[in-house]
Amino acid sequence: MSKTYHFIGIKGSGMSALALMLHQMGHKVQGSDVEKYYFTQRGLEQAGIPILPFDEKNITEDVELIAGNAFREDNNVEIAYAIKNGYKFKRYHEFLGHFMNQFTSFGVAGAHGKTSTTGLLSHAMKNITDTSYLIGDGTGRGSANAQYFVFEADEYERHFMPYHPAYSIITNIDFDHPDYFTSIDDVFSAFDDYAKQVQKGLFVYGEDSNLRKITSNAPIYYYGFEENDDFMATEIVRTTTGSNFNVKHDGQIIGEFHVPAYGRHNILNATAVIANLYVAGFDMALVAEHLKTFSGVKRRFTEKIISDTVIIDDFAHHPTEIIATLDAARQKYPSKEIVAIFQPHTFTRTIALLD
């Protein structure tokens, strides 16, 4: 049954992806936000989804309200009007937690690499079978007939706690979001709570000491580069066109793979995807075929060439992510001088991670 949804803060990366997904599933979608241009609005405009100014007149009885997590009664007229007049609304993560129950869901969590890994997983799955997905770069696809749903699970303010996925990848645990988390132990506690909600299989990076301590009611599979990992990337060859490697499980090679992506971290991301799809019963030959055609996600190692200069735009704002981006750049452009320009992302994060 078709519904009408109004998104309060529709230009947010998660919100825009969800709006696109619901629109493609046949629902009527509109939203409101500030006038400032955001990279997400191009996709919304191309889909014909109205983007309105914030106004209490947007709140009516015939729409289901979905609110961005940053908007509150004291800073948004629509939220204030909805609360004053008794209109119910769900936060983004609350709606998503309920929405995904109609699918076999695949979550991707972690301090770093969520968006790239979600993009890679959804790319492989959508080319094998009908799959809906929601990626943190503002990209979403919805199909009313899909059996599977791939989504990005954000740990900030424990927003992933409404999620109970069938499968989930956790790429790593690191101290981030210092405006919310007090310590690495606090971060670990959040991920450990999330892991307990995974139902069929949890896939975690085996060389992460915190992830080795994670607990879950579902089977836990470790992936990485070591012999004691359940899924091990081996025979790795990194070139200027991408990365080639095999994946070994239970002493046997389950496939030979190529990803047109760069850096050690992207081999790990791909190994996580391969492990998850192997356990979920997907054909490894088909997985290998479609990993080859992955073109990346928005704002992650996005390249623009001007004369003989290559400009790489990446959302890396944490020291771990910056190191990974530089590693990827050196792989693809081994003969070029690399100059890094860093744009700080929030004062609290920059100060906390400066050392």
The answer to which of 215-219, 251-255, 338-342, 347-351 has the lowest mean pLDDT is 347-351
* Nearest in space to 10 (alpha carbons), one of 44, 59, 37, 61: 44
123, two tokens = 């790319």
Q: Indicate if the pLDDT at residue 352 is higher than 70.
A: no
Half-sphere exposure of 110 (CA within 13 A, CB side): 27
Burial of 109 (0-12, 13-18, 19+ CB in 10 A): buried
- Residues carrying CATH 3.40.1190.10, the chain: 103-291
User: Rounded distance, CA 221 to CA 205, Å?
Assistant: 9
Helix (H) or strand (E) holding 274: helix 264-279
Amino acid 176: pLDDT: 81
Task: State whether CATH 3.40.190.10 applies to domain 103-291.
Answer: no
269, two tokens = 């991301």
* Nearest in space to 318 (alpha carbons), one of 171, 177, 205, 184: 177
Amino acid 317: pLDDT: 67
The per-residue pLDDT of the chain, averaged, comes to 92
Amino acid 215: pLDDT: 98
Q: What whole-number percentage of the chain has pLDDT above 70?
A: 96
95, two tokens = 């709606």
User: Rounded distance, CA 51 to CA 47, Å?
Assistant: 11
Tokens 């190692």 -> residue: 301
CATH number of 4-92: 3.40.50.720
Q: Indicate if the pLDDT at residue 355 is higher than 70.
A: no
Tokens 């998503």 -> residue: 96
pLDDT tens track for 253-278: 999 999 999 899 999 999 999 999 99
- Residues carrying CATH 3.40.50.720, the chain: 4-92
Residue 21 confidence class, pLDDT cut points 50, 70, 90: very high
Q: Indicate if the pLDDT at residue 285 is higher than 80.
A: yes
Question: What are the C-alpha distances in Å from 35 to residues 305, 321, 345?
Answer: 30, 31, 21
pLDDT tens track for 39-54: 899 999 999 999 999 9
Amino acid code (one letter) for 254: I
* Nearest in space to 29 (alpha carbons), one of 116, 104, 95: 95
User: Rounded distance, CA 42 to CA 132, Å?
Assistant: 20
Amino acid 138: pLDDT: 84
